[in-house]
C-alpha cells in the first residue's frame, strides 16, 4: 500500500508517493463518463501540466501528447471512469517517465477532499489513520540480533502527528544497541515529517544538518528541510547505521536513504531503489477522479540533484534477500575493527562466526552425529532426523548447528557452544566453550557439572 509524503513546516501539505487507488482499500462502484466530461478533464489536466508540473519542458511535452491522444479519439472508447483514468494515467507516466504523475479513480476519497479541503489533514482521513494504527504505523518489527545489533522493519513513514509516539518507542528500543539495521525493502513511502523526524535521531542535535532544498514551481520559491534541534529520547549520532533497500523501496523511503547516505551517516545495502523523488499536490478533477501531480523538486546540498528516475544507489549492492545477512556481518565487522580491547574483539568474532555458520552450516557425516547422542553432565543430546538437539534438565530443547566437524553452536543460546571430544574414533565428552573464552569439559554419561 503506497502512501504520501510531505516535507515539513510549510511543505507538509505537499506530498510524495503513489496514492492508493482505493484509499479505504475497497473498490468503489464505477461511474459512466460522457465525452463532454472526458473533454473537460483532459483540458483541466493539460492546464495543470502547462502551469504547475515541476519541469516545464516535460509538462509541455506530456500536455501535447495527451491532447493528441484525445483528438485521435483514444479515450472516447472508455465510458468507464475507471478505465478512462487507467488509460490516461498510463499515457501521463509513459510520456513524462514520472512515477508520481497519474489520475486516480476514487469517489469516496474525492468526497472526503471536498469536505475537508486540500490542506494536510485532508490526506489524513480518519479511516486511513485507523487502518495504519492496526499496522503499527509501519513499524512492523523491532528486535535485537546476535551481537547486540538492532533491527527495525519499517514499512512506511506515517505522519508523526499520529505515529510519533510509536516512532519514539522504536528509537528508544534500539538506542542501547551497538549498531542498527533499518529495513525499508518493503517501504513504499509516507510523510516527509516522519523522514526528518527519524533522520534527526542519527545526528548531533547541537549542529543541524540540511537535508535538501525543495523548489516549488507554482510559487517559484525554494524551501529547506533540516534535521530537528530536538527529538525525544536518546540520539545516536555515532552508532553504525545500515539501511536495507530493494527495487520496491520508493518515495519517502528513498528520501530517508538519500538523506543519510549523502550525509555520510549510513551504509546502504541492497538494490537500487525505484526512483520517485518529486513531491506532489492533489487536484480534484471530478466527483470521482483526482490528479496526482509533482509540482516540487528536491535539490540536495551535496549532489545538487535528487533520486528521480535513477533511484538511490546502494553502497553495497546485493540481492534484496541477501541484504539483511550482509548488513549483519558488516555491522559486526565494523564493531570488530573499532573494538577497544581483546575481550570486545573476541565477542565480535564470536558472533560473526556464529551467523556465518547459521547461514552456511558445516556438513557433518550422519554416523558422527549418531555417535554424539547421549548424556553429558546436565545436558542430554539427541539426534532427530539429521540434526542434533540439546536439552538441559527440563528446560527447552535447542537445535545444534555445526560450525565444523566437531564444533556446534546452540540455537537461541548466545553464550556457549559445544565441541565434541573423541578418542580412537569414539565420542567421549564435550567441551562447553563460553563466549569469554573459558571452557568446561563434561564426560559422556558423567556427573561433572558445568
Percent of the chain with pLDDT over 90: 73
**Closest among 150, 128, 132, 149 to 141, alpha carbons compared:** 150
Rounded to whole angstroms, how far apart are CA atoms 407 and 315?
Answer: 35
Distances (CA, A) of 441 to 103, 204, 422, 450: 71, 49, 12, 8
Question: Which of residues 119 and 267 earns the better pLDDT score?
Answer: 267
**Closest among 372, 2, 315, 357 to 155, alpha carbons compared:** 2
Question: What number of CA atoms fall less than 13 Å from residue 376's CA on the CB side?
Answer: 26
Average pLDDT on 86-112 reads 90
Alpha helices in 280-322 (DSSP H): none
**Ranked by mean pLDDT, which of 33-47, 85-99, 235-249 comes out on top?**
235-249
**Closest among 89, 99, 88, 105 to 20, alpha carbons compared:** 105
pLDDT at 2 > cutoff 90: no
Mean pLDDT of the chain: 89
pLDDT at 4: 37
Q: Write the pLDDT tens digit of every residue in 174-211.
A: 999 999 999 999 999 989 899 999 999 999 988 899 99
**Closest among 75, 90, 83, 1 to 40, alpha carbons compared:** 75
pLDDT at 340: 92
**Closest among 189, 150, 181, 182 to 273, alpha carbons compared:** 189
Percent of the chain with pLDDT over 70: 91
Query: What are the grid coordinates assigned to 371, written together?
Result: 555417535
pLDDT at 13 > cutoff 50: no
User: What confidence category does residue 113 fall into, taking pLDDT thresholds of 50, 70 and 90?
Assistant: confident
Alpha helices in 72-226 (DSSP H): 81-96, 107-116, 120-123, 126-134, 160-174, 192-199
Distances (CA, A) of 298 to 232, 244, 259, 307, 403: 27, 22, 11, 9, 49
User: What confidence category does residue 24 fall into, taking pLDDT thresholds of 50, 70 and 90?
Assistant: very low
The residues, ordered by sequence, that sit 6+ positions from 206 with a Cβ below 8 Å of its Cβ are none
pLDDT at 12: 36
pLDDT at 206: 85
The class (CATH top level) of 116-335 is: alpha beta
CB 357 within 8 Å of CB 325: no
Domain locations in the chain?
29-105, 116-335, 366-443
Rounded to whole angstroms, how far apart are CA atoms 182 and 327?
Answer: 10
pLDDT at 68: 95
pLDDT at 64 > cutoff 80: yes
- This prediction has a pTM of 0.84
The residues, ordered by sequence, that sit 6+ positions from 50 with a Cβ below 8 Å of its Cβ are 59, 60, 63
**Ranked by mean pLDDT, which of 131-135, 215-219, 264-268, 288-292 comes out on top?**
264-268
User: What confidence category does residue 119 fall into, taking pLDDT thresholds of 50, 70 and 90?
Assistant: low
Q: Write the pLDDT tens digit of every residue in 317-353.
A: 999 999 999 999 999 999 999 999 999 999 999 999 9
pLDDT at 394 > cutoff 90: no
CB 162 within 8 Å of CB 132: yes
User: What confidence category does residue 450 fall into, taking pLDDT thresholds of 50, 70 and 90?
Assistant: very low
CATH T-level topology, domain 366-443? Lipocalin (2.40.128)
Amino acid at each position: 500500500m503506497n502512501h504520501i509524503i510531505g516535507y515539513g513546516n510549510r511543505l507538509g501539505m505537499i506530498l510524495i508517493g503513489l496514492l492508493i487507488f482505493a484509499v479505504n482499500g475497497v473498490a468503489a462502484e464505477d461511474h459512466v463518463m460522457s465525452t463532454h466530461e472526458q473533454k473537460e478533464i483532459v483540458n483541466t489536466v493539460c492546464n495543470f501540466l502547462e502551469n504547475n508540473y515541476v519541469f516545464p519542458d516535460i509538462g509541455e511535452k506530456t500536455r501535447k501528447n495527451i491532447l493528441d491522444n484525445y483528438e485521435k479519439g483514444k479515450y472516447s472508447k472508455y465510458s468507464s471512469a475507471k478505465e478512462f483514468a487507467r488509460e490516461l494515467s498510463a499515457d501521463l507516466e509513459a510520456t513524462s517517465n514520472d512515477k508520481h504523475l497519474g489520475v486516480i479513480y476514487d469517489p469516496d476519497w474525492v468526497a472526503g477532499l471536498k469536505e475537508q479541503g486540500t490542506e494536510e489533514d485532508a490526506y489524513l482521513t480518519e479511516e486511513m489513520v485507523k487502518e495504519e494504527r492496526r499496522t503499527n504505523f509501519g513499524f512492523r518489527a523491532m528486535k535485537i540480533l546476535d551481537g547486540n545489533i538492532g533491527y527495525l522493519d519499517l514499512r512506511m513513514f506515517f505522519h508523526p502527528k499520529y505515529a510519533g509516539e510509536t516512532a519514539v518507542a522504536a528509537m528508544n528500543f534500539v538506542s542501547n544497541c551497538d549498531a542498527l539495521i533499518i529495513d525499508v525493502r518493503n517501504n513504499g513511502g509516507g510523510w516527509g515529517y516522519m523522514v526528518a523526524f527519524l533522520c534527526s535521531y542519527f545526528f548531533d542535535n547541537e549542529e543541524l544538518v540540511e537535508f535538501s532544498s525543495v523548489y516549488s514551481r507554482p510559487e517559484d520559491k525554494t524551501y529547506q528541510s533540516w534535521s530537528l534541534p530536538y527529538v525525544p529520547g536518546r540520539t545516536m549520532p555515532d552508532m553504525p547505521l545500515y539501511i536495507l533497500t530493494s527495487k520496491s523501496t520508493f518515495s519517502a523511503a528513498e528520501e530517508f536513504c538519500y538523506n543519510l547516505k549523502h550525509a555520510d551517516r549510513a551504509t546502504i545495502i541492497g538494490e537500487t531503489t525505484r526512483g520517485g523523488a518529486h513531491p506532489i499536490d492533489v487536484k480534484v478533477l471530478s466527483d470521482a477522479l483526482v490528479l496526482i501531480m509533482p509540482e516540487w523538486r528536491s535539490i540536495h546540498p551535496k549532489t545538487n540533484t535528487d533520486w528521480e528516475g535513477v533511484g538511490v544507489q546502494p553502497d553495497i549492492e546485493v540481492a534484496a534477500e541477501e541484504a539483511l545477512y550482509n548488513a549483519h556481518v558488516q555491522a559486526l565487522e565494523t564493531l570488530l575493527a573499532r573494538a577497544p580491547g581483546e575481550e570486545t574483539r573476541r565477542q565480535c568474532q564470536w558472533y560473526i562466526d556464529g551467523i556465518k555458520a547459521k547461514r552456511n552450516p558445516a556438513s557433518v557425516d550422519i554416523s558422527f552425529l549418531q555417535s554424539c547422542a547421549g548424556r553429558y553432565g546436565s545436558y542430554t543430546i539427541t539426534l532427530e532426523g539429521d540434526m542434533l538437539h540439546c536439552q538441559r534438565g527440563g528446560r527447552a530443547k535447542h537445535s545444534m548447528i555445526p560450525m565444523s566437524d566437531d564444533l556446534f553452536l546452540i540455537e537461541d543460546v548466545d553464550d556457549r557452544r559445544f565441541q565434541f571430544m573423541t578418542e580412537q574414533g569414539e565420542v567421549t565428552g564435550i567441551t562447553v566453550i563460553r563466549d569469554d573464552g573459558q571452557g568446561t569439559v563434561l564426560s559422556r554419561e558423567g556427573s561433572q557439572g558445568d
